[in-house]
Structure 1
Amino acid sequence: MWLVLTGAIATSLVLIGWSFWFSPAHASGRTYRVLSVPGNVIWGELFKPDSPPILRVQSGDRLIMNTVSHEGILPDQGDTTEFLTAGGIKREDILPDQIRVKAEVPKSGPGPHVITGPIYVEGAEPGDVLEIKTLALNYRSPYGVISNRHGRGSLPGEYPENNAPIYTKVIPIERSRDVGIFKPSNGLPDLEIPLKPFMGLMGIVPANVEEAVNSVPPGNYGGNVDIKDLGVGSSLYLPVQVPGALFYAGDPHCAQGNGEVALTAIECSLTPTFELVLHKDMTLDTPMGEIEDAWIAIGLDRDLDEAMKKSVREYLRIVNEKYGLTKPDALLYASAAIDFEVSQVVDIVKGIHTLIPKESFKALQAE
């Protein structure tokens, strides 16, 4: 169930936490607040076609959605409070939702992610396209965590060293300067990591239930795509597979390097503001991104070479359809002027993406 609230009443209930008990999600006009309380999240898997939605919205509605980072609450990190305070975080700064999720939400899948949702979009049907606009991203806590686990990451078996099960580091966040503080383990001076928050996991429910059993691999439904350019001002376009689309989000990041080679980014809890837009006159077979000055062509596959091929093919499709350039010409142009990047190599299904600068094709007549 959810409760419709408006104006100052809605605001006050959010601030004092009453909605924490009254409703999984509530609305003020066409902007909806979605809380990361136990009834609104799952842990380790994706939602399925028969998952009951916590909220139903119209195309164009907005969501202010609380999300929870899984880092700091996973079993191999022990007691959450002890883990974070040992990393220099004050007890009073620990996000209560992390503590509550760990205590009350069963870990129902093999993945690590805590995922908020699902949201039913009225009128969405298979064959449509759902656009997820990220309008804002707000930090929920002054810390994040980076981890490397045995058997995971880009160098499994080599790191963590000495066959250790995990090597992990708490990263204090200085919001006033938008940096994370990385403290080397051997006493060297602190390093600063510029923050560039984004949601690592945004998706809709896959029609194939088997694809939903693990939150880690991304797919044509989106999910854990881990593309750092999908921050504020971006759009992610996804092909709808089930009625209502059933949107969800999780895996919030403060900063990530392309490749995500250790295993995680700076994982930190965020509150994104999304706008969901349904496109009935658009078709897609695979996720596509957009930022103000570029399109993002995405390739996903367990084989990195195949992911590269898929990203190139998607680049060719975008440039051909939007600017009229033939695919043979677009391929030659890319070889001289377009960079293809490794999004991540750690999510079972690997990712390659490319930014297609709109400025590069301004001389061509868009269709």
Structure 2
Amino acid sequence: MATIIKNEEYKYIFSPYLEPVARITPGNEVIVYTEDAFKSRIKTEADIPSKALATVRFLNPQTGPIYIEGAEPGDTLKVEIQDIELTRDYAVSCFLKHFGGLHLEERLEEKVWIWRLVENRQYLYNEEIRVKIPVRPFYGTFGVAPEIEAISTMSPGPFGGNMDVPDITAGNTVYLPVYNKGALFYMGDCHAAQGEGELCGVACEITAKATIKFDLIKGKKIAWPRIESKDKIMAVGSARPMEDAARIAYAELLAWLAEDYGFTKAEAYELLTQVGGLYVGNMVDTSYSLVASIHKRYLQRIDA
């Protein structure tokens, strides 16, 4: 039977100093409930953020930390995302004051956009825009506690965190470096949909529950988060300026090719130059997150 984890008190930092909400043995199935980025304080178009969030000190509540038995510094935490179920029938996006990826000539006022789940919850529809978009749920925030620091849940970094990367989704596996005993895993900030870059700074924010399974790769040390899908392997880099995030992501992917797939660093560098993929997860957070990728078809050597 799966362990169910549902916080009574959500966390707003990735910290090695907080008491775990659960202890999990690797290999066991876990169901984790998560809140949206605003802790469900915005429900209608009338809930203007400056008023609805006026008394809020922090955003982006996380479920965790979850202690993984046997995890030690220098290991890699493997998190298999088996399923993401949305737990309400609408998602929320909004324009916030002094926040977003564009500085437009026309000043945009605060505004809330409600996207309702339609057609058997397969699409999102906004009555003002009058466009349907596909539901593609993923977790915007997914990470472990850093070694020493307590870092805001608004921030991404080598530990994972608020990366806003759409490939952290059902069917994929996320690999995270372990800095502390027990790994101390946190997750939250589910998005029902989001374009690359999370342009206005707020995706289709929604409550959810995820079915996940933890495992450990003992003694394997990685520097940045990695993701594996059916078709690709990927690495995430977070930094400012954006070109540094791109360099980190590609350097981590190059290391993966050299460590596990038998390529020399020179071969990996050349191969990624020709067939590597790169996209922006977020361009609005404290650090930007970029994802470098390569299709698995290129990981097997062949004789022409």
Distance 1:107 1:117, change over 3 A: farther
- Choose which of 122, 144, 161 in structure 2 pairs with 1:178: 122
Q: Helix, strand or coil: the match of 1:162?
A: coil
| Structure-1 residue corresponding to 2:211 | 273
Q: CA deviation at 1:329?
A: 2.8
Q: Helix, strand or coil: the match of 1:250?
A: strand
- Choose which of 206, 213, 216 in structure 1 pairs with 2:154: 216
| Structure-1 residue corresponding to 2:138 | 198
Structure-2 separation of matches of 1:221 and 1:364 = 36
1:49 aligns with 2:20: no
Q: Give the gaps of 5 or more residues in structure 1.
A: 1-27, 88-101
Distance 1:250 1:177, change over 3 A: closer
Letter in 2 for 1:129: T
Structure-2 separation of matches of 1:47 and 1:351 = 17
Q: CA deviation at 1:170?
A: 0.6
Q: CA deviation at 1:335?
A: 2.5
User: After the TM superposition, which residues 157-176 of structure 1 pair with which residues of structure 2 at under 5 Å, given as runs?
Assistant: 158=104, 161-162=106-107, 164=109, 166-174=110-118, 176=120
What TM-score, normalized to structure 1? 0.75
User: After the TM superposition, which residues 61-210 of structure 1 pair with which residues of structure 2 at under 5 Å, given as runs?
Assistant: 61-71=28-38, 73-74=40-41, 77=42, 80=43, 83=44, 107=56, 109=58, 112-156=59-103, 158=104, 161-162=106-107, 164=109, 166-174=110-118, 176=120, 178-184=122-128, 190-210=130-150
1:323 aligns with 2:267: no
* Matched positions, count: 298
What per-residue deviation string (whole Å, max 9, x for no partner) do you get for residues 46-73 of structure 1? 2422211111111112211111113474
Structure-1 separation of matches of 2:117 and 2:261 = 42
Structure-2 separation of matches of 1:257 and 1:286 = 23
Q: CA deviation at 1:179?
A: 0.5
Letter in 2 for 1:267: E
Distance 1:72 1:191, change over 3 A: farther
Q: CA deviation at 1:255?
A: 0.9
Q: After TM superposition, where is structure 1 displaced by more than 4 Å over at least 4 residues in a row?
A: none
- Choose which of 167, 177, 181 in structure 2 pairs with 1:229: 167
Q: Give the gaps of 5 or more residues in structure 2.
A: none
| Most deviating of 283-292 and 176-185 | 176-185
Q: CA deviation at 1:107?
A: 5.0
Q: Helix, strand or coil: the match of 1:255?
A: coil
Structure-2 separation of matches of 1:277 and 1:287 = 15
Indicate if the aligned counterparts of 1:230 and 1:291 stay in contact, CA closer than 8 A: no
Q: CA deviation at 1:209?
A: 2.2
Letter in 2 for 1:123: G
Indicate if the aligned counterparts of 2:275 and 2:294 stay in contact, CA closer than 8 A: no
What per-residue deviation string (whole Å, max 9, x for no partner) do you get for residues 73-116 of structure 1? 45xx5xx4xx26x69xxxxxxxxxxxxxx99xx9554xx21211
Q: CA deviation at 1:177?
A: 5.2
| Structure-2 residue corresponding to 1:359 | 297
Structure-1 separation of matches of 2:208 and 2:111 = 23
1:35 aligns with 2:6: yes
| Most deviating of 241-250 and 147-156 | 147-156
Q: CA deviation at 1:317?
A: 1.1
What TM-score, normalized to structure 2? 0.90
Structure-2 separation of matches of 1:148 and 1:339 = 30
What per-residue deviation string (whole Å, max 9, x for no partner) do you get for residues 100-159 of structure 1? xx99xx9554xx212111111112111111111100111100000112222211114x38
Q: CA deviation at 1:340?
A: 1.0
What per-residue deviation string (whole Å, max 9, x for no partner) do you get for residues 171-219 of structure 1? 001251510002336xxxx101111111111111112324x2x211111
Question: Counting strand residues as a fraction of each chain, which structure ranks higher?
Answer: 2
Structure-2 separation of matches of 1:332 and 1:324 = 14
Indicate if the aligned counterparts of 1:323 and 1:364 stay in contact, CA closer than 8 A: no
Structure-2 separation of matches of 1:55 and 1:308 = 35
Instruction: Flag the structure with larger Rg.
Output: 1
Indicate if the aligned counterparts of 2:39 and 2:60 stay in contact, CA closer than 8 A: no
| Structure-1 residue corresponding to 2:25 | 58
Q: Helix, strand or coil: the match of 1:318?
A: helix
Q: Helix, strand or coil: the match of 1:262?
A: coil
Indicate if the aligned counterparts of 1:146 and 1:169 stay in contact, CA closer than 8 A: yes
Letter in 1 for 2:101: S
Letter in 2 for 1:194: P
Indicate if the aligned counterparts of 2:194 and 2:203 stay in contact, CA closer than 8 A: yes
Distance 1:150 1:60, change over 3 A: same
